[in-house]
Structure 1
């Protein structure tokens, strides 16, 4: 039997696809500075990134491919400025994926909340650049992704079956932070806020083709799902805004494994999401490689999944969402 040190040196995954993997182009950070925005939130260390660090991390962790994103995407600026920045980022991502076939896919960024500009860039990034989905943040200048004002975008994303990867950002109003990074506490709440909006605006019901991936195991959605369905018990008129099977709609959402690989968080995600809607996520390089590796080992070793279920989590679910990887042979565990 191997020692714990030997076990810690083994890759946590076997041929996984990482759907929560950040890239931080230097030109992007510079552009955000020029626009008066930061490429990280206050109190969050900016990691160093280059493509070589991503590829070597993937090799060590048993990750065959990553669908990368540029976070926090395009800030809430005017439509023309947002469209110009989105196009530059997306063309960079297309060049990056072309340079590493079979290893990288990418989520496009869009100039939301400007719907017409976003629809134009969605078509270009999918049909011309061949990117794999769209990376979103929970809100754009206070307009949350589930807002009815974005219904034309929801409809087109649903029609196309475009995977939407939603990452939290700072809430649009200041919250008490106690001298701590806002991401430490607020990110899970941001995801719950968005999910409540998707539910009570009936966005998921009206656009059944939407394929939404919530980062960080869905934030707190697994814990809050039943509570979110209690709106009509708190205020009777909310019954008119709630789908007939609210928890069922929430269980259609995908989530990733980033930051939930521990004995406290993971059981609720395991019970709520199951193997059919769970994807591998590392949150690299914002979270250290050692942290995501330990989380992956916990999920694989203690998650209670069968080999077939692990194969779905590591590769099968992602291959269904991202045709770029569907043709690749699935490696046995």
Structure 2
């Protein structure tokens, strides 16, 4: 694996960056010109105290994977606004980040390979992790990255995560809500979670929807996403809690997209289910805490749209568990910093934490 200096100092060849190929001279010019482009950037400060803003939920894709997808771009592009921008143009992405007052994005690729042939998926993941590492090494002040994992083969995923953390400088892995018919609480995934715990890797759970409900999601409103994505996260987190996975791996760092789905909004119901219907609960699984208490060891992004939603999430999980997230380039929240600044339930120190300090600590980001 080339060093960061080799990435930044290459005098010839090409730098692969999502959107395609930049020659080394152009890459170097863009890197050097970055400070100039940011002269109009409005740095974020709370009561006079500045903070490096870190968006933990931002997406990208890599054109280098297209030959492994029969050059079918539709695999990587959803028919939604902003989709083309997952192929990063540095100039465009930096300008967008500056407009959002985001200093750094933690990039991830939405998992699309879980149902693909294992060997093909492994090739896709290898390319994506290499390109993600190159991009982040070339622009360490603007990008950090989550690895991809071939989770249909957990033993391979362990190897990929080890390489990502120890050799490629990535900060963890972006995972879906399940893999096919396997919930992440299934013991087959225990080696992955054990390795993640050992390495201090953050696992970013980004939902892929609930295709089993496709018929009920038909009609107006894009319910497959509006309801299906938060529901997928809700199920994933609930399985990890109720099956005892978080007891088995108490040091596991989990970051949940979209404010954790619906779980934090109705979490207290989880505390009563086994009391009301013990026959529907496994007596062999004896949790060490109340289900709601596990939420305070999970981190949640702030992509829940309103200050009142932030207030409720804060009351349920604590301000220390909330981090900035936008879902860029998809236009769910184009002013994520303003959203936090407008949240009166957060005091000044808590706003600094949500905007970047907590993410920097959890992800072990330099500077």
State the 1:57 CA deviation: 1.6
Match of 2:306 among 262, 265, 269: 262
Greater Cα offset, 31-40 or 154-163: 31-40
1:106-121 superposed matches below 5 A: 106-121=145-160
Note if 1:305 corresponds to 2:356.
no
Contact 1:205 / 1:249 at 8 angstroms: preserved in 2? no
- Map of 1:1-333 to 2, 5 A cutoff? 14-28=51-65, 31-32=68-69, 38-40=75-77, 44-45=80-81, 47-49=83-85, 50=88, 51-175=90-214, 176-179=216-219, 180-181=221-222, 182-237=224-279, 238=281, 240=283, 241-243=285-287, 244-258=289-303, 260-287=304-331, 291-293=333-335, 295-325=336-366, 328=367
Structure 1 segments unaligned to the other structure (5+ residues): 1-8, 329-333
CA shift at 1:10, angstroms?
6.8
With 188-197 and 43-52 compared, the bigger mean Cα shift is at 43-52
Q: Which residue of 1 aligns with 2:15?
A: none
Q: Which residue of 2 aligns with 1:6?
A: none
Distance apart, 1:29 and its partner CA: 5.5
Aligned to 2:21: none
Deviation at 1:36, TM superposition (A): 10
Report the alpha carbon displacement of residue 265 of structure 1 after superposing the two structures with TM.
2.8
C-alpha displacement at 1:273, in angstroms?
2.4
CA contact (8 A) 2:152 2:179 kept: yes
Long gaps (5+) in structure 2: 1-40, 46-50
Q: By how many angstroms is 1:305 displaced?
A: 1.5
Contact 1:105 1:131 in 2 (8 A): yes
Give the aligned CA root-mean-square deviation in angstroms.
Answer: 2.4
Quote the Cα distance in structure 1 between the aligned partners of 2:173 and 2:120. Answer: 19
> Could you say if the C-alpha distance between residues 10 and 105 of structure 1 is closer, same or farther in structure 2, counting changes exceeding 3 Å?
closer
Q: Match of 2:33? A: none
Q: Alpha-carbon deviations, 1:136-178, whole Å to 9, x = none? A: 0112223232322211111111121210001000224243123
Which stretches of structure 1, 4 residues or longer, exceed 3 Å deviation after superposition? 9-14, 27-37, 43-46
Q: Taking structure 2 as the reference length, what is the TM-score of the superposition?
A: 0.78
- What is residue 28 of structure 2 aligned with on the other side? none
Counterparts of 1:262 and 1:281, CA distance in 2: 13
Q: Could you tell me how far 1:263 is from its partner in structure 2?
A: 4.5
The equivalent residue for 2:29 is: none
Instruction: Work out the CA distance in 1 between the residues paired with 2:84 and 2:72.
Output: 21
1:10 & 1:301 partners in 2: Cα distance? Answer: 17
How many pairs are equivalent? 313
What CA distance in whole angstroms lies between the structure 1 residues aligned with 2:286 and 2:293? 12
Q: CA deviation at 1:287?
A: 2.0
In structure 1, how many angstroms separate the alpha carbons of the residues matched to 2:111 and 2:344? 31
The higher radius of gyration belongs to 2
In the other structure, the counterpart of 1:3 is none
